[in-house]
Amino acid sequence: MSRLSVVIADDHPVVRTGMRVLLSQDTSFEIVAETSTVPDTLQAVKKHQPAVLVLDLTMAGQSSLPSIPDLITVSPGTRILILTMQEDPAFARAALRSGAAGYLLKEAAAEELVGAAHQVAKGGTYLQPAMGARLAAADLVTPSTGADALLTARELEILSLLAAGHTNLEIARRLHVSVRTVETHRARIRDKLGTETRAQLIAAARERGLLG
């Protein structure tokens, strides 16, 4: 029986080592590559066509959320399992909408990583129970429909950074894009949520459960 190939993508060597140790304890997995940046991850996935990609949401200051569709394009058979410290339900929703097969918080990795990897490798979806409960609670209060559902992964990311108090320039530097690009995304978010000012935008996002 062939082993399930895995690529581990995280910019912290200690975390990668921990994941490698955990997954290697199961002989059905074979770690074929480890990466620490989004571009390197795209290259590794394209080269190895792994069964599973364990992917951090942020590597070397760059979000991996927008790269999920590209990763699926270069390797359609790869199942993506997000492993992150990001507890905001909006990010879990955005990752799953973008094509990720699973979402797991790093705090639970030791207990759940192997099982989650098997689940997604078999074609299933894995959502950590605690995160699933948060998503369900948010949807009960403000179901994700209408304009909310039209926000892209990048728009959700920028929205979260705006809510954290970052300026357009700071967001641009953090995401490695131009200030004009951030301004364009911000304008689209305002249009979709029907707001004008920054305060109105953030308030509307919180009311809709987009910021957790």
Q: What is the pLDDT along the chain (212 residues), one digit of tens a residue?
A: 589 999 999 999 999 999 999 999 999 999 999 999 999 999 999 999 999 999 998 888 778 888 899 999 999 999 999 998 877 777 787 788 889 999 998 887 777 899 999 999 999 999 887 666 556 555 544 444 444 456 777 888 888 888 888 888 888 888 888 888 888 888 888 877 777 777 877 787 777 666 65
Phi, psi values for residue 15, rounded to 5°: -65, -45
pLDDT score recorded for residue 136: 53
Output the six-digit token pair for 178: 């131009």
- List the domain boundaries for the chain: 4-136, 143-207
Domain 143-207 bears CATH identifier 1.10.10.10? yes
Asked if 4-136 and 143-207 have one fold, the answer is no
pLDDT score recorded for residue 2: 81
Q: 9-27 as b/e, with b when 16 or more CB fall inside 10 Å?
A: bbbeeebbebbbebbeeee
Correct CATH for 4-136 of 3.40.50.2020, 3.40.50.2300, 3.40.50.300, 3.40.50.1100:
3.40.50.2300
pTM of the model: 0.68
